[in-house]
Amino acid sequence: MMNRSFASDNNAPVAPEILQAILDANAGDALGYGDDDWTRRAVARFKAHFGEDTDVYFAFNGTGANVVALSCAVRPWEAVLAPATAHIQTDECGAFERFTGSKVIPIPTRDGKLRIADLEPYLLGGHGEHFPQPRVVTVSMTTEYGDIYEKDELRELCDYAHGKGLYVHVDGARISNAAAALGATPREITRELGVDILTFGGTKNGLMGGEAVCFFRPELSAHAMPFARKQGMQLASKMRYIAAQFDALLAEDRWLRYASHANAMAQRLLAGVRDIPGVRITRPVRANAIFAIMDRPAIARAQEAFFFFIFDESKPEVRWMTHWATTEADIDAFAAAVRAASA
Ligand SMILES: Cc1ncc(COP(=O)(O)O)c(C=O)c1O
């Protein structure tokens, strides 16, 4: 077992209530591929939250969920516009391009947040049939830099995209952290702002594994997603074990409890490191990630105590992440380790 790590929320263990839900689901036989009571219950929870007309599909992982979801909205000559820092652009190994034959078009941004002014030049259509036709805008909540779109910002982006005939997809690998930080529900920060498709993350918020794709425009999904998910190798035969986790996550606002805790731990860490000479915090700390620049020997010394990644080698900029299981004692020990490493 490793020390508490600050590398990623993927490194967290499974939350006890989620593990218990898996154990409880492990009774007797159940029909495969989602024709089971756990899947019906979990789908009902998503519909209760996002609206009865939400079309919900569970998937194994975030890359697969993003790719099969987006594949329903683009034809091979159409493209997805994404901030250049988006996970689908930088960390999914071209899966979208391979699976769909379409392109992700990376758009440079100031800080990882896509704004209308960033998008505009890509919608002028000057090259006609020679340019892949933009069809979807995708943004991440939280962003890859741990930031959050304010409600107004995302609403404006959705309105603009819709005005240009584009759909909006949110990669919500950390949608719960964003909602917790904004003091809002996942619905209030997606569907109600105009988002068309949401990948709702579970793995980074206490689950053993699982993501849920929510379509708020069933006309995009009903004829396509069942087949895209199967062809995209994201259809679980033993669906009950993914569904049982989401059933438990959405019950009793656990999604909120886990995410709020992770966010609070990031704030505690921020308070513990922000005044350390040699540590420069580089991004707004809104959810469960902190980015900082330190000198390389100090990074190496801190990494001896607790593992974390250098996010951008060129600066070097590190990323520290917290999660549902990070404790106050972990944070205090880590902040002390960073302080000692920087002395
Ligand atoms: C923004 C974002 N989207 C999606 C994912 C999901 O990736 P995976 O395919 O590893 O589950 C991640 C994981 O790091 C992520 O940070």
Pocket flag, ligand 1, residue 62 (CB < 6 Å) = yes
Span from the CA of 276 to the centroid of ligand 1 (angstroms): 31
Q: Which atom of ligand 1 is nearest to the CA of 65?
A: 9
Instruction: Average the pLDDT over 308-322 and give the result.
Output: 97
pLDDT single digits (tens) 236-291: 999 999 999 999 999 999 999 999 999 999 999 999 999 999 999 999 999 999 99
To the nearest whole percent, how much of the chain has pLDDT over 90?
98
Which residue has the CA at smallest separation from atom 8 of ligand 1?
Answer: 62
pLDDT single digits (tens) 124-148: 988 899 999 999 999 999 999 999 9
Is pLDDT at 2 greater than 80 in this prediction? Answer: no
**pLDDT for res 220:** 97
Q: Which atom of ligand 1 is nearest to the CA of 61?
A: 11
Span from the CA of 141 to the centroid of ligand 1 (angstroms): 11
**pLDDT for res 4:** 84
Span from the CA of 280 to the centroid of ligand 1 (angstroms): 26
**pLDDT for res 143:** 98
Instruction: Average the pLDDT over 90-114 and give the result.
Output: 98
Is pLDDT at 1 greater than 90 in this prediction? Answer: no
pLDDT tier, 177 (very low <50, low <70, confident <90, very high otherwise): very high
pLDDT single digits (tens) 181-238: 999 999 999 999 999 999 999 999 999 999 999 999 999 999 999 999 999 999 999 9
Q: What domains are defined for the chain? A: 16-253 (3.40.640.10), 254-342 (3.90.1150.10)
Pocket flag, ligand 1, residue 140 (CB < 6 Å) = yes
Query: Alpha-carbon distance 120 to 239, whole Å?
Result: 41
**pLDDT for res 126:** 82
Pocket flag, ligand 1, residue 282 (CB < 6 Å) = no
pLDDT tier, 3 (very low <50, low <70, confident <90, very high otherwise): confident
Pocket flag, ligand 1, residue 89 (CB < 6 Å) = no
**pLDDT for res 43:** 98
Pocket flag, ligand 1, residue 203 (CB < 6 Å) = yes
Is pLDDT at 174 greater than 70 in this prediction? Answer: yes
Query: Alpha-carbon distance 267 to 65, whole Å?
Result: 30
